[in-house]
Amino acid sequence: MVISPTVRGRFAPTPSGYLHVGNALTALLAWLQVRQQNGTFILRIEDLDDKRLHPKYIAALFEDLHWLGIDWDEGPESGGPFSPYHQKDRTHLYHAAFEELKNRGLLYPCFCSRKQLRAFAVAPHGVTSEGPAYSGKCRYLSEEERLRKATDKTPSWRFILPDTPMAFDDLVYGKQTFAAGAGGDFVVCRADEVFGYQLAVVIDDAAMGVTHVLRGNDLLDSTPRQLCLYQALGLTPPSFAHVPLIYASNGERLAKRNGQMPLRSMRKEGLRPQHLIGYLAWLTGLLVKPEPIELLELIKEFDVRKIVRHRIVLPVNWSETLMKSG
């Protein structure tokens, strides 16, 4: 395969649990988007907050991706020109960007309590998962007030959102428009000096030359924040495609932390990857019926315009049916 010098995409999981079918779907679609354009596919591990992570999940991640047939041109196992490919080893880059933003007056210290900031994690989550928008309580503190508060508490640091609306074209959901300040000023560095997801993902994607980002639609409302950071740092943003999430039959969103339908269990029970790939391709609109297919054969069927926009809900006993067929 001739690798395109212009198309670069990535899959960037957080190893906080075993991959489930929802993660597999995102990985498959991101891989297909890049491979169809003969581009470079990157695997990056988003492991900034190592208190939530475990090495066994990273090992299982590699196994699950290999089982599906997903390979990567750059990443933890294969290296590449933009290594390292673990975020925990790239903090010097985030620190440099943080200092640039701070020196330009685009950040301010926030002294809100840990309880108030609990929702602002470094793992990727959409803005709606954070709860009410940040009020800007600390944005307008005087320098005297900041110095006084700093004697009692180490602050986190927030990025000042511009007072203008933000719009972008999503390859799946079309034109997206967000009001000025949507979600409120956001944390780019926690009080414990762990950098936030929004800053880290922008710096990594820009540094690695990523041109195409395909990810779950729970991050759709995070995109304006990231575009603001791209603009503030003078970086070129990639194109974005957000794809539907998968929900269990009871309407509950699949989550690694709940151990729901991990791939490792399904493959250990004998499921063939072709059956799962075909089923997921059918659910997302790439195939007209759920039939087994090799991943390489699916490349020619991929079209981002085919991807459904509605919530994907798994039928009751879907995994048992799939296991019997596989």
The pLDDT score that the predictor gives to residue 141 is 96
Is the pLDDT at 106 greater than 60? The verdict is yes
Residue 128 has what pLDDT?
65
- Per residue in 166-175, pLDDT (tens digit) is 999 999 999 9
pLDDT at 123: 52
> What number is the average pLDDT over the span 54-81?
94
User: How would you classify the pairing of strands 8-11 and 40-43?
Assistant: parallel
Write down how long the chain is.
326
User: For every residue of the chain, which 3-state class applies, written as one string?
Assistant: CCCCCCCEEEECCCCCCCCEHHHHHHHHHHHHHHHHCCCEEEECECCCCHHHCCHHHHHHHHHHHHHHCCCCCEECCCECCCCCCEHHHCHHHHHHHHHHHHHCCCEEEECCCHHHHCCCCCCCCCHHHHCCCCCCCCCCCCHHHHHHHHCCCCCEEEECCCCCCEEEEECCCEEEEECCCCCCCEEEECCCCCECHHHHHHHHHHHCCCCEEEEEHHHHHHHHHHHHHHHHCCCCCCEEEEECCEECCCCCECCHHHCCCEHHHHHHCCCCHHHHHHHHHHHCCCCCCCCCCCHHHHHHHCCHHHCCCCCEECCCCHHHHHHHHC
Mean pLDDT of 284-296: 95
Give CA–CA dist 296/310, Å, rounded: 26
> Can you name the CATH fold of 8-87+209-215+243-325?
Rossmann fold (3.40.50)
The whole-number average pLDDT for the span 210-235 is 97
- Cα 159 to Cα 108: distance, rounded to the nearest angstrom: 7
Task: Determine whether 256 is an active site residue.
Answer: yes
Separation in Å, CA 225 to CA 109, 160, 176, 181? 18, 10, 13, 9
For 24-44, give one letter per residue: b (16+ CB within 10 A) or e: bbbbbbbbbbbbbbebbbbbb
253 vs 51, more confident: 253
Q: What is the pLDDT of residue 322?
A: 76
The tokens of 193 are what? 């000096």
Question: Higher model confidence: residue 189 or residue 260?
Answer: 189
Q: What is the pLDDT of residue 1?
A: 40
Q: Each residue of 44-59: pLDDT tens digit?
A: 999 998 777 888 999 9
pLDDT for position 2: 45
**Mean pLDDT computed over 277-281:** 95
pTM of the model: 0.91
Q: Express as a percent the part of the chain with pLDDT over 70.
A: 90
- Residue 11 clears pLDDT 70, i.e. is over it: yes
- Please tell me the predicted confidence (pLDDT) of residue 250: 81
Lookup: tokens for 102: 């701070």
Contact 254, 20 (CB under 8 A): yes
pLDDT at 259 over 60: no
pLDDT of 163 reads 93
Task: For helices 197-207 and 91-103, give the axis angle rounded to 10 degrees.
Answer: 110
- pLDDT, tens digit (0-9, with 9 covering 90-100), for 301-324: 999 999 999 999 988 777 777 776
Q: How confident is the model at residue 262 (pLDDT cuts 50, 70, 90)?
A: confident
Please classify residue 209 by burial: count the beta carbons closer than 10 Å to its beta carbon, then call 0-12 exposed, 13-18 middle and 19+ buried: middle
| Confidence (pLDDT) at 208 | 97
pLDDT interval class at 257 (50, 70, 90): low
pLDDT at 321: 72
Res. 201: pLDDT tops 70: yes
Most confident region among 32-36, 122-126, 249-253 by mean pLDDT: 32-36
Statement: residue 258 has pLDDT above 60 = no
> What pLDDT shows up at residue 69?
97
- Out of 102, 137, 256, 268, the active site residue is 256
